[in-house]
């Protein structure tokens, strides 16, 4: 398992959103470090608390931004955010309930959705804003 490094493919070109995405990736890299240091399981609960908290505020912020620029695909995007929040909330519940969760698999899953969501859906917000700015 490797660290997620910031690359241009993750750049939406929207500074505020990019900064929040960097923070999300930072959280997942923190968990990776904890796994490497042998305390992955002990760190999972705090990781999911932080992730749930931050994705909630980040998604709300991103949705507000999409609304402010008149982004046409807002509702579909919002629906995906809700699904992601549900997934994170479910994982958190499992961990709180004492269900054994493999930290490596949890991290792979989270990294997968963060990277895919940014590259596939969030990058389109940036494209939309840039095309509109060109008139
Ligand atoms: Fe998004």
Mean pLDDT of the region 92-108: 94
For ligand 1, the distance from its centroid to the CA atom of residue 42, given in whole angstroms, is: 29
Straight-line distance from the first to the last Cα atom of the chain, in angstroms, rounded to the nearest whole number: 43
For ligand 1, the distance from its centroid to the CA atom of residue 126, given in whole angstroms, is: 11
Which residues, by Cβ under 5 Å, contact ligand 1, an ion? 62, 122
Contact residues for 36 (Cβ-Cβ < 8 A; gap 6+): none
Write down the pLDDT at residue 5: 87
Which structural domain, as residue segments, surrounds residue 83?
A: 14-134
Write down the pLDDT at residue 30: 95
pLDDT, one tens digit per residue, over 45-88 is 999 999 999 999 999 999 999 999 999 999 999 999 999 999 99
Query: Model's pTM, two decimal places?
Result: 0.93
Query: Is residue 5 included in any domain, yes or no?
Result: no
Q: Return the structure tokens found at 39.
A: 């305390």
Cβ–Cβ under 8 Å, residues 103 and 30: no
For ligand 1, the distance from its centroid to the CA atom of residue 107, given in whole angstroms, is: 19
Q: The domain spanning residue 37 has which CATH number?
A: 1.20.120.50
Query: Is residue 54 included in any domain, yes or no?
Result: yes
Query: Is residue 61 included in any domain, yes or no?
Result: yes
Any idea which residue has 């989270």 for tokens?
110
pLDDT, one tens digit per residue, over 11-50 is 999 999 999 999 999 999 999 999 999 999 999 999 999 9
């Amino acid at each position: 398992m490797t660290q997620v490094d910031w690359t241009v493919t993750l750049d939406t070109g929207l500074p505020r959103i990019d900064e929040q995405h960097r923070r999300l990736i930072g959280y997942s890299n923190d968990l990776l470090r904890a796994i490497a240091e042998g305390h992955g399981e002990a760190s999972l609960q705090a990781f999911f608390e932080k992730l749930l908290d931050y994705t909630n505020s980040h998604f709300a912020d991103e949705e507000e931004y999409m609304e402010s620029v008149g982004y046409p695909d807002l509702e579909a995007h919002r629906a995906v955010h809700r699904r992601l929040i549900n997934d994170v909330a479910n994982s958190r519940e499992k961990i709180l309930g004492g269900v054994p969760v493999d930290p490596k698999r949890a991290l792979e899953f989270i990294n997968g959705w963060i990277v895919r969501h940014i590259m596939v859906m969030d990058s389109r917000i940036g494209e939309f804003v840039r095309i509109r700015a060109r008139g």
